[in-house]
Amino acid sequence: MPLSHIDPANYDALLATKVAQTCHRLAPFAVPAPEIFPSALEGFRMRAEFRMWHDGDALDYVMFPPGEPNTPIPISQFPIACDAIQTLMPALRDYLRPNPVLRQKLFQIEFLSTTSGETLVTLAYHRRLDADWESAAQALAREFNVALVGRSRKQKVVIERDYVTEQLQVAGTDYLYRQYEQAFTQPNAGVNRHMIEWACASAASEGGDLLELYCGNGNFTLPLSRHFNQVLATELAKNSIRAAQWAIAANRIDNVAMIRLAAEEVTQAMNGERQFRRLAQLPQPLEDYRLNTVFVDPPRAGLDPATIAMVQGYPTIIYVSCNPVTLADNLVRLNESHEVSDFALFDQFPYTDHMECGVVLRQRAPR
């Protein structure tokens, strides 16, 4: 996002435009008036990444205008980043500038921070990292009290750890999450909290058991588990599975079972089309779950046709979408069996065209 687009004074008008556009796109599905969750105006991003530009002795964070890869724009301030990242950026740059071991062929820096005060920095290079680099990196990590990862082609060097631990308070309860370097996490912690609380409020009266697809690191899974007897959560990415399993144990949650399956494989298992050895890890046979609610938070491509057909068998679908276009495409099919009872908009990415959506769909009565 170009820094020129950051305009706190005009935030309300920008948000109103996005809300109107999204409501217009979803109007054919008779969505109710949305509950709207705005973002903080600044300091909301817990992740940031920058290319590094070398010019003689100078070293700068830079961004590039769209379509102009040879026109670097130096970044001296990044007001949308959280306070920890904003404070660390200039100090880290000044530390790296005179350090030939750490700055040689450094081309990118990534920051991952938490509301609980931990930060992880990734330094990416166009050269192999050696013992001298590792020694210098350890000194850097101690200086700034950060976890550190060095990356080059086919090489990853971890200094202390490659994750941070987040603590979020959701509806009065604190939850611990593990966030691994380069694994997906929600970038806007404040809006993420609103998303989780909305999902929990939507699920509070459902009861029974829950099927969750695309559970990631357990972002929604942990708080949702308070509202169901059992939760069957599925995810494909290994790092996300590892993070979610850690979080389940760390938060002492005993009614969540995780299984490493893609959404397409879950559909095949639910339809009895394939047997998966991984299902043997479940505490009870798949058919013994009383799954009457499904929660989905799919990637930008939305749900595939087979998964849409599968979730249409559930009385209640709670759908969080990062792409209103594919949500609208999916609702064409879902609207045949379900109707939208609740609708929410979450401004996860202020000053951009992006809008996160949440809909609750309930099965239509037989005609």
Active site residues: 322, 356
Long-range residue pairs from 96-101, CB within 8 A, at least 24 positions apart, any chain: 96/59, 97/57, 97/58, 97/59, 99/136, 101/132, 101/133, 101/136
Give the number of other Cβ atoms within 10 Å of residue 202's Cβ.
Answer: 22
CA atoms within 13 A on the CB side of 128: 3
State the distance between the two ends of the chain, measured CA to CA, in whole angstroms: 48
CA angle, 185 then 140 then 168, to 5°: 30
Task: Give the pairing type, strands 35-37 and 338-346.
Answer: parallel
**Residue 354 phi, psi (nearest 5):** -75, 140
d(CA 52, CA 334): 46
H-helix segments, 271-357: 305-311, 324-337
For 291, how many CA atoms within 13 A lie in the half-sphere containing its CB?
22
